[in-house]
Amino acid sequence: MGNCALCGQRRDLKNSHLMPKWAYKRLQMTDRGRQDPIAIENGSATITSRQVTKHLLCGECEQRFSTREDYVSGLSAVDPVGTLNILSNVTRPDPRVTNVVQLKAEVDTEAIAYFAASVIWRAYVMFDDCKLGKYAEPLRRYLLGEMDFPSEMSMSMAILEPSSLLKRPEGYFTMPSSVKTPYGWLHGFTVCGLAFQCYISGTLDPQLKLVSLIGDNPEKYALLRKPENFIHFHEVQRVAAAATPRGKLALLGLWK
């Protein structure tokens, strides 16, 4: 029993996941069958099945989140040839612009934005991994359905394409984190081929609002990126290269 972090009511709290359970399951799916993923943390690389959880939400609020998680799960699943499902719901508004696609009207961009916002908010509440500051309360009220998406925020999405460096971009994710940029605070994470970026600023750049998944703009867009052209990927590569294998990973001699 405890106070739900979202609604504030004293209720039986569920063991809430920071990242969706389906994302962990997909990480375990490899060409060689089911394998536990490699986690990199505090300079160490280990094989683990551990999932990041905390008793955080009541059952009703857990359901608020899971509905949107299920929707994003469908979009980030792959078809029999290994293509992300969301790519069947995009068009290129200008063939000369190869890295921008328009999301078709049937794509529920508000559900996608809600999902991404919920992960960033959970990272703040659970471990303070996302530095939301005074915007934490407006974001909580948005997730609770008490107010609109805060006007000081934009939420954009990039769809990662396979490349020679990463053949299965849907097979890894990065935990939510924050960094201060010239445009304001940037909060982001990657999950199963979809990378989300949330900018927060009192004077938000109008260009960021144009590519936001939620807002007044009737057309909604996403970016197409090769993983190596995405800043998060290079950070993952840098951290991985510096990590020391531990436990079973060290014994097997698989880490390069």
Model confidence over 83-139: pLDDT tens digits? Answer: 889 999 998 766 666 688 999 999 999 999 999 999 999 999 998 778 898 999 999
Decide if pLDDT at 253 tops 90.
no
In this predicted structure, the answer to whether residue 254 has a pLDDT above a threshold of 70 is no
In single-letter form, the type of residue at position 54 comes to K
The pLDDT confidence band at residue 31, using thresholds 50, 70 and 90, is low
Number of domains into which the chain is organized: 1
231 Cβ neighbours under 8 A, 6+ residues apart = none
145 or 231, greater pLDDT: 145
Check: CB of residue 120 under 8 Å from CB of residue 187.
yes
How sure is the predictor about 51, in pLDDT bands with cuts at 50, 70 and 90? Answer: confident
Does 34 have pLDDT greater than 70?
no
Structure tokens at 133: 């500051």
Percent of the chain with pLDDT over 90: 43
**Residue span of the structural domain in which 64 resides:** 2-252
Q: How confident is residue 48, by pLDDT bands cut at 50, 70 and 90?
A: confident
Beta strand ranges found along 10-133 (DSSP E): 10-11, 13-17, 29-30, 33-34, 38-41, 44-47, 53-58, 90-91, 100-103
Bigger pLDDT: 149 vs 232: 149
Banded pLDDT at 255 (limits 50, 70, 90): low
Say if residue 1's pLDDT is above 70: yes
Least confident of 1-15, 18-32, 64-78, 123-137: 18-32
Place of tokens 């970026």: 197
* pLDDT given at position 116: 96
226 touches 160 (CB < 8 A): yes
Q: Is the model's pTM score more than 0.85?
A: yes
What's the pLDDT score for residue 32?
Answer: 65
